[in-house]
Chains A and B, each alone.
Chain A
Amino acid sequence: MLDVLSTLLLVLFLVGHLVLAGADVGLSMLMPRVARGPAQRRRVVAAIAPYFLASEVWLVALVGILAGLFPALEHHVVAELWPVLVVLTVGLLVRDAGLWLRSRVPDDRWRAVWDGAVVAGGWTLALAWGWVTASLIAGDPAVTPFTVACASTVVSLFALRGAAFGAERLVEDPTAESADVAARDTRWLAGVALAATLVTVVAAVPGPGPVDPSAAAIPTAVMAVALTATLGTSGPMLSRYTSAIAIAVPGVTVAVASGLPVASIPDTTAVLVWSVLTPAIPVMLIGQVWLYRMTRRPSRSPGFFA
């Protein structure tokens, strides 16, 4: 019982992180495209800033759950994937350093450097997540047609999620120019993601595809439907939801199709963790929901981050 709950918790934090961080990481990637000039760049950072801390904590919690409740699984993942994890950490470090530091010195060159770090870190993060997903599904981090296609799918899902988020959050701009670019981008990004998905499926057939292909079929189909819906003329309107569904799929697929070794958790540890965690869950939820609701409208005056 606690085993099942703990596994669900692990999947919840993986999917939660992908869905929430997809938005701010994706928009970091698209900054050069949706923002022209310092004023628009400031607005993009102001749209990202309220969320990056609140989405990153899901990742930290994910690592914590792995270490405390699934040490054997963590050991397996780290042993297999440590170079990818180093890349992921570097991406996180560079992107976050950009966000924390860009507004610290009122100088255009300084800001340009750290805006560059936000963009580079965003791309690195998306790529690293793509590589992690592909390696876990294939059971091996080697570069094969499958891992390349799968990683490209994940990268395009991050970009799509970022575009959807930008279309929604950048409308405060007096001209709404950035929001319009982002909204139009959702349609072709959905196309790219869909094409990459098809290539991934084709590549999975001969080569080292998912350990359990039948389990991967349903999530992949759900993703294809969500992406197809985003292609149409109402795509920009729907993308807020469809991009969330689509980016959740890699997480779910890893959970159901990769055949990762999950050992049963010793009772005393499970009971300790759950009895301390249960009273904390409402506080965790209240904080997250409150933050996402409160910051729906970006602030116009300069703040700590932008």
Chain B
Amino acid sequence: MFDDPLLLARLQFAFTAATHYMFVALTLGLAPYILVTQLRATAGGDRGRMTAVRFWGGLYLVNYGMGVLSGLVMELQLAVNWTGLQKMYGYSFGAPLALETMTAFFIESTFLGLWIFGWNRMGRWAHLSCFAVVTATAYLSAWWVLVSNGFLRHPVGFEMVDGVAHLTDPAALLTNPAATMAFGHIVTGTLLVGGAVVIAVSAYHLRRGNDPHRIFARGIRYGTLVMCLVPIPVAAFGGVQFELFGQAPPTSGQTYSASEIEAVEAAGSAVHPAIGPTADALMMGMWALMFFLGPVLLLAWPLGGLDRWRWFLAPLVVLPFAPYLASVGGWVFRETGRQPWTVVHHLTTADAMTPLSPAAAAISFGLFTVAFAVLAGVTYWLLVRYARRGPEDGPLADHRDREPAEAPVPAPTF
């Protein structure tokens, strides 16, 4: 296996993208909850809710930092390992990614900086509006990325000029069903990720009877509503994507003739035939679990179970595994289903890859995989640690009332 550069580069992409996506999913899933909590805290001058914002916001930031680090490496990997894709599809696949960096990521990070450093420096409403910008641009970012990714799945709106794809129809690119449906599916899926994390952390503290600001009583109720309401749209946005299966993209035939396409596909995809269906089953299985859990939580609510039944709360601590497994399964299902193409009917995966020597591919695979494993491990450890410590010890906890961290040391000035 280690002597096939193509296989290594693909496995590397799969590992790193899956890791990156796990950070991203929590960013997207937690942001709306923090935003609404901060809105209610600001409108009502509610200190308990503001403590909640600082608590969930601290987890959000720890996760966001690792999202940024893994994203930087993704970008490098795309540029270095997949030059065939850039060369042919820069102007069509690359353009939405370019717009993502400027119109979404640039603004998102700048305003997140304003939010982090603005707690005691700007008015309450200005501070809230910074997080509103952060949330909006995070979703915009997801949308641009999916426009790019959807283009691979269902390439539309271009013509080939001298072996380079030139965009002819930007509207078709932006409304590509492979992007819009995936966006609906992703957004709702990440809400499940966020909801499950909020439920798990809340259950952990409620079980210990530790909830002075009612942060966790509110959290578990929010999560309950998410588990009841969101699975249906998740399945709907997922289900409509099946319509694209087996459908040739409208641009089919521009690069390869129908018989050539058939020959490429007949040669097989080098993906083990069991992987796709297993990933699909994992995704839907986890969906079913959450779909049935929602009503159970709802029934426990009026009976006081959400706050008091310790046996009921205990297993909820591992709930986040469900949406995370479903998300990774979903991506594996989507990306393996596209094989042997990188751009369906236009560019094979083998041609998309940079010609790398087996040694270079093995080194790159080793480095990237280790780096991502470390990033994921450290983030998991920090998130669990902060989640357990609760609001008093969070990384954003309010230190104004405490002693300064260090006493000034007198020393000569020059």
Contact = CB atoms under 8 A, between A and B. Distances in A.
Interface of B: 58, 61-62, 65-66, 68-69, 72-73, 75-76, 79-80, 83, 86-87, 90-92, 94-103, 105-107, 109-114, 116-118, 120-122, 133, 161, 164, 166-170, 173, 371, 378, 382, 395-396, 399-400, 402, 404-406, 408-414
Contact of A291 (B76, B117, B411): B117
Given A68-B97, A96-B68, A53 B103 contact: no
28 contacts: A38-B406, A53-B110, A57-B101, A57-B105, A61-B102, A64-B98, A67-B86, A68-B94, A68-B95, A68-B99, A69-B98, A75-B90, A96-B72, A100-B69, A266-B167, A268-B166, A269-B91, A272-B95, A273-B95, A276-B103, A277-B102, A280-B107, A291-B117, A294-B118, A299-B120, A299-B121, A300-B404, A303-B117
Interface stretch (A126-134, A232-240, A281-289): A281-289
CB-based closest 7 A-B pairs: A71-B90, A68-B98, A64-B101, A287-B110, A100-B65, A64-B98, A280-B103
A67 B102 contact: no
Contacts, number: 202
For the residues of A in contact with B, the DSSP-based class is: helix
Contacts of B121: 294-295, 299
Contact of B404 (A58, A180, A290, A301): A301
Contact of B76 (A89, A96, A299): A89
A24 to B, nearest CB: 12
Nearest to A62: B101
A53 B168 CA distance: 36
Contacts of A213: none
A1 interface: no
A56 B91 CA distance: 24
A92 B412 CA distance: 36
A82 interface: yes
Given A42-B406, A86-B80, A69 B65 contact: no
A206 interface: no
A93 B99 contact: no
A78 interface: yes
Given A75-B83, A301-B400, A60 B101 contact: yes
Given A53-B110, A69-B91, A175-B410, 4 more contacts: A89-B73, A272-B95, A284-B106, A294-B122
A63 B102 CA distance: 10
Contacts of B72: 60, 89, 92-93, 96
Contacts of A86: 76, 80
A104 B382 contact: yes
A61 B144 CA distance: 14
Contacts of A148: none
A61 B83 contact: no
Given A63-B75, A71-B90, A277 B103 contact: yes
Contacts of B103: 276-277, 280
A132 to B, nearest CB: 13
Interface of A: 37-39, 42, 49-50, 53-54, 56-58, 60-61, 63-65, 67-72, 74-75, 78-79, 82, 85-86, 89, 92-93, 96-97, 100-101, 103-104, 174-177, 180, 265-266, 268-269, 271-273, 276-277, 280, 283-284, 287-288, 290-291, 294-295, 299-305
A138 B109 CA distance: 34
B243 to A, nearest CB: 27
Contacts of A269: 91-92, 95, 166-167
B79 A85 contact: yes
A64 B102 contact: yes
Contacts of B68: 53, 96
Contacts of B166: 266, 268-269
B62 A272 contact: no
B410 to A, nearest CB: 7
B90 A294 contact: no
A128 to B, nearest CB: 12
Contacts of B92: 269
Contacts of B413: 175-177, 180
Best-buried of B166, B400, B414 by chain A (most CB within 10 Å) = B414
Given A74-B90, A86-B76, A301-B400, A294 B114 contact: yes
Nearest to A99: B65
Nearest to B364: A86
Nearest to B66: A100
Nearest to B101: A64
A104 B109 contact: no
Nearest to B157: A268
Contacts of A79: 83
A294 B76 contact: no
Given A175-B409, A291-B114, A57 B76 contact: no
A291 B121 CA distance: 11
Contacts of B79: 63, 67, 74, 78, 85
